[in-house]
A = this chain, B = another copy of it.
Amino acid sequence: MVVTPQLLKTFPLLSGLPYATLEGIAGQSSVRRAARRAIVLNAGQNEEQICFLFEGRLQGVDFTIDGREVGLYFVEPGEFCGELCLFDGGAQPEFVMALTPSVIVSIPLNSMQTLLKMHPELFATISAKIAGHVRKMTFQRSLLGLPNIAQRVCCQLWMLVPEKDKEKEEAQIRNPPTHMEIAIMLNISRETVTRVFQSLQNRQIVKRDGTSLLVVNKVGVLRGYAEGKQEL
């Protein structure tokens, strides 16, 4: 499929670039659909591409020495991943997998490097992204320290609430991760996640609406659980 400048313009990182530049980049880029569970980036390889997520949800995953899956972070539409090679040319440390059918725009590493030379102001955004990633990982790690499992799940759920809905009473989480995908993020078993969700549903705090929508009815209460102000 063809990458259009309009498509590239939808990504915050690139939205400020002149049309002509975007046209050039578009010519070197590619767009692909990734099926559920498809590998977008491989660990341990020099992937040499920056992946922009247009639609869907991705997850960074790693594996322990004994083969268990470990969830690292989620990638939401508009964000990108695989940018670590811009910093040290090294290999991709973790796998990136599509959790839902996704649309991904890939810009090759060297196109990206050329672009950065022409527009060094983009460096600030990319640096900020990496810095943000470090902060996110730090926070995620601190989640694992919580002895209360339900609180862990609520924190993770809270992070999936769209920014714009955090102050509202009700929120929607589109394409929510499966229980398994949440479980590996939090180092707990799938069954335990299910049981916490049951508990939340019984209290009418969340509600499933089909397979691709999770409604948070009482955003404030969820937040309370996440912050440990109330026990589930």
Contact indicator A128/B66 (Cβ below 8 Å): no
Which residues 70-98 of A sit at the B interface, judged by CB distance below 8 A? 70, 72, 84, 86-88, 90, 93-94
Q: Which residues in B have their C-beta under 8 angstroms from that of A127?
A: 86-88
Cβ–Cβ contact A93 & B130, under 8 A:
no
* Copies of the protein in its oligomer: 2
Given contacts A62-B138, A66-B148, A145-B187, contact A131 B228 (CB under 8 A): no
Contact call B66/A138, Cβ cutoff below 8 A? no
A-B contact pairs, 5 of them (CB 8 A): A62-B138, A66-B228, A68-B147, A88-B124, A93-B139
Q: Which residues of the other chain, B, contact A17 by a CB distance below 8 angstroms?
A: none
Interface residues of A (CB under 8 A from B): 62-66, 68-70, 72, 84, 86-88, 90, 93-94, 124, 127-128, 130-135, 137-148, 151, 155, 184, 187, 227-228
User: Top 5 A-B pairs ranked by shortest CB distance?
Assistant: A87-B127, A88-B131, A88-B128, A87-B131, A70-B145
